[in-house]
Amino acid sequence: MKLGLFGFGCVGQGLWKVLHETKGIRADIKRICIKHPDKQRPVPTHFFTTHAADILDDPEIDVVVELIDDAEAAFEIVSGALSRGKAVVSANKKMIAHRLPELYALQQKTGAPFLYEGACCASIPIIRNLEEYYDNDLLTSVEGIFNGTTNVILTKIFEENLSFGEALKFAQANGFAESDPTLDVEGFDPKFKLCILLLHAFGVFVQPEKVLHFGIHRLNDFDIEFARSRGSVLKLVARCFRENDKVAAYCLPRFVQKGHRYEGVRHEYNAVTLESGFSERQVFVGKGAGDKPTGCAVLSDISALHYQYKYEYRKFGQNGTFFDTKGTLLTVYVRHEHEGQVTESDFSEITERYASNKAKYLVGKIQLEKLQTAAWLREPGVNVIEYV
334 Cβ contact list (under 8 Å, min separation 6): 342, 361, 362, 363, 364, 382, 383, 384
Candidates 193, 235, 287, 292; catalytic one: 193
Paired sense of beta strands 280-287 and 269-276, if any: antiparallel
Q: How far is the CB of 128 from ligand HSE (least distance, A)?
A: 17
Q: How far is CA 237 from CA 36, 96, 102, 256, in A?
A: 36, 20, 28, 10
Closer CB to ligand HSE, residue 167 or residue 330?
167
Element spanning 64, H or E: strand 63-66
Q: Choose the stretch contacting ligand HSE; rule: CB under 6 A; options: 141-149, 349-357, 364-372, 378-386.
A: 141-149
Out of 69, 189, 301, 386, the only residue in the binding site for ligand HSE (CB under 6 A) is 189
102 Cβ contact list (under 8 Å, min separation 6): 75, 79
Binding flag, residue 149, ligand HSE (CB under 6 A): yes
Number of residues that bind ligand HSE (CB under 6 A): 11
Q: Could you confirm whether 169 is annotated as catalytic?
A: no
Q: How far is the CB of 124 from ligand HSE (least distance, A)?
A: 11
CB atoms within 10 A of CB 13: 19
Binding flag, residue 67, ligand HSE (CB under 6 A): no
Out of 289, 305, 359, 371, the only residue in the binding site for ligand HSE (CB under 6 A) is 289
Out of 14, 208, 288, 364, the only residue in the binding site for ligand HSE (CB under 6 A) is 288
List strand residue ranges (DSSP E) for 196-337, in order: 212-213, 232-243, 246-257, 269-276, 280-287, 322-323, 329-336
Q: How far is the CB of 166 from ligand HSE (least distance, A)?
A: 17
Binding flag, residue 300, ligand HSE (CB under 6 A): no
Q: Choose the stretch contacting ligand HSE; rule: CB under 6 A; options: 1-9, 175-183, 352-360, 373-381.
A: 175-183
Binding flag, residue 147, ligand HSE (CB under 6 A): yes
Closer CB to ligand HSE, residue 203 or residue 288?
288
Closer CB to ligand HSE, residue 141 or residue 149?
149
Q: How far is the CB of 289 from ligand HSE (least distance, A)?
A: 4
Element spanning 199, H or E: helix 188-202
Q: How far is the CB of 42 from ligand HSE (least distance, A)?
A: 21
Helices and strands, number each (H, E), in the chain: 12, 17
Closer CB to ligand HSE, residue 176 or residue 347?
176
Binding flag, residue 90, ligand HSE (CB under 6 A): no
Among 360, 352, 357, residue whose Cα is nearest residue 223: 360
Cα three-residue angle 127-101-27, rounded to 5 degrees: 50
Under 8 Å between Cβ of 30 and 2 = yes
Q: Choose the stretch contacting ligand HSE; rule: CB under 6 A; options: 49-57, 142-150, 159-167, 350-358.
A: 142-150
Nearest-10 Cα torsion for 6, 10, 12, 15 = -160
Restricted to residues 230-269, the positions that interact with ligand HSE (CB under 6 A) are none
DSSP secondary structure, 96-150, as one string: HHHHHHHHHHHHHHH---EE-GGGTTTTS-HHHHHHHTS-STTEEEEEEE--HHH
Q: Choose the stretch contacting ligand HSE; rule: CB under 6 A; options: 147-155, 301-309, 337-345, 347-355.
A: 147-155
- Residues known to be catalytic: 193
In the complex, the residues that contact ligand HSE under the rule CB under 6 A are 122, 147-149, 176-178, 184, 189, 288-289
